[in-house]
């Protein structure tokens, strides 16, 4: 099969059918396009914090039209997947190890093919963790504006760490947290947050606001939100890249970074440039884009995805 090296930006978004998959007794929402194509590479798209499969609505159908089998998944606790109360979960809760295991199971049971993981923000840590834990399932990982995890305990000043921990406990364990979520989960707040994250404010449409806001109205959404913002443990992206750079792994990594990302500045991201980590083959700066370039500038991201997959599929 010959894959195109470039693709035009979508002229409009396409609402894909919602599908559901049972994972460990939980209902997981996902979307798919092009999945019936034979002898085609498989992609799993992994959203960031507060996102869901709809955040890839400008990518999933376009990449399928380019000849790929494409699956966008809602991580447990996000989108329209189940959101069990963190205190009731028998497993490790909402963290990168749980989500990496979810991705592995999804590849085994739904995709049924070794996959490329295309990830944004905290989804990047999920994809990298999945590659570290299950390298035999992953063809390659592309990360877009990965979270640097500035609240991770390893990054905190030892003097201020107790204050951060106390504030996180206040949000997670008292009514203050529920009230805080009530302020955040409003149309005006979501719109303002997106306008901060996106450099081009014209791309923050009413449709996008509803894509991000509506899942926050589902049961237990506040508990999941508060649980994750209190999560200061787990891996840092550079630790995962370091692990993937050892001789036992053969998983290539591509990094895309918006030059106008206000949350994860590209100046800090340049520590991941190709050459420092053996697994990182490219570090591409996307001019004039913010934290979610797959949605803000799909005309820049989709061709990069196609090129990366084309280079590595069945090698």
Predicted confidence at residue 106, as pLDDT, reads 98
Predicted confidence at residue 5, as pLDDT, reads 42
Task: State both tokens at 251.
Answer: 């998983």
Beta bridge partners of 253: 141, 280
pTM for the predicted model, two decimal places? 0.93
Give the closest residue to 288 by CA, choosing from 268, 262, 308, 259: 259
Give the closest residue to 151 by CA, choosing from 138, 143, 140, 163: 163
- The span from the CA of 273 to the CA of 281, in Å, is 8
Domain boundaries in the chain? 19-156+234-312
- The span from the CA of 256 to the CA of 285, in Å, is 6
- The span from the CA of 191 to the CA of 204, in Å, is 7
Are the CB atoms for 295 and 306 separated by under 8 Å? no
Which of the four pLDDT bands, split at 50, 70 and 90, describes residue 176?
confident
- The CATH number for 19-156+234-312, chosen from 3.30.70.580, 3.10.20.30, 3.40.50.1820, 3.40.50.620, is 3.40.50.1820
Q: pLDDT tens digits, residue range 8-54? A: 544 456 679 999 999 999 999 999 999 999 899 999 999 999 999 99
Long-range CB pairs of 92-97, under 8 A, 24+ apart, other chains included: 93/227, 94/224, 94/227, 94/228, 94/231, 95/231, 95/233, 95/234, 96/122, 96/125, 96/126, 96/129, 96/234, 96/235, 97/129, 97/133, 97/234
Q: pLDDT tens digits, residue range 235-269? A: 999 999 999 999 888 899 999 999 999 999 999 99
Predicted confidence at residue 163, as pLDDT, reads 84
Query: By mean pLDDT, which of 9-23, 127-141, 200-214 is the weakest?
Result: 9-23
Predicted confidence at residue 90, as pLDDT, reads 56
Q: Which one-letter DSSP state was computed for residue 174?
A: S
Residue 282 has pLDDT above 90, yes or no: yes
Q: Is 47 helix (H, G, I), strand (E, B) or coil?
A: coil
Burial of 266 (0-12, 13-18, 19+ CB in 10 A): middle
- The span from the CA of 117 to the CA of 134, in Å, is 12
Distances (CA, A) of 299 to 88, 205, 225, 286, 302: 42, 17, 31, 11, 6
Predicted confidence at residue 274, as pLDDT, reads 76
């Amino acid at each position: 099969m010959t894959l195109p090296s470039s693709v035009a930006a979508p002229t409009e978004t396409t609402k894909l059918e919602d599908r559901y998959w049972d994972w460990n007794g939980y209902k997981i929402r996902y979307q798919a396009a092009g999945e019936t194509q034979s002898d085609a590479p498989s992609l799993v798209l992994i959203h960031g914090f507060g996102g869901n499969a709809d955040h890839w609505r400008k990518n999933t159908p376009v990449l399928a039209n380019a000849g790929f089998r494409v699956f966008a998944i809602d991580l447990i606790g996000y989108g329209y997947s189940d959101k069990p109360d963190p205190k009731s979960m028998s497993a490790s809760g909402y963290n990168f190890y749980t989500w990496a295991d979810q991705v592995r199971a999804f590849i085994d049971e739904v995709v049924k093919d070794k996959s490329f993981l295309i990830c944004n923000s905290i989804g990047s840590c999920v994809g990298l963790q999945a590659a570290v834990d299950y390298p035999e399932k992953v063809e390659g990982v592309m990360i877009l504006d990965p979270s640097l995890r500035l609240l991770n305990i390893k990054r905190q000043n030892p003097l201020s760490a107790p204050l951060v921990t106390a504030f996180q406990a206040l949000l997670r364990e008292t009514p203050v947290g529920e009230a805080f979520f009530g302020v955040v989960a409003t149309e005006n707040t979501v719109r303002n947050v997106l306008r901060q994250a996106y450099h081009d404010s014209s791309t923050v449409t009413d449709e996008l606001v509803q894509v991000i806001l509506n899942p926050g109205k589902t049961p237990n959404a506040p508990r999941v939100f508060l649980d994750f913002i209190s999560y200061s443990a787990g891996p840092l992206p550079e630790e995962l890249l370091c692990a993937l750079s050892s001789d036992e792994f053969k998983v290539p990594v591509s990094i895309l970074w918006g030059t106008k990302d206000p949350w994860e500045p590209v100046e800090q991201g340049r520590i991941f440039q190709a050459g420092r980590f053996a697994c990182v083959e490219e570090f591409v700066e996307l001019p004039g884009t913010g934290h979610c370039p797959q949605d803000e500038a799909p005309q820049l991201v989709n061709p990069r995805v196609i090129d990366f997959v084309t280079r590595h599929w069945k090698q």
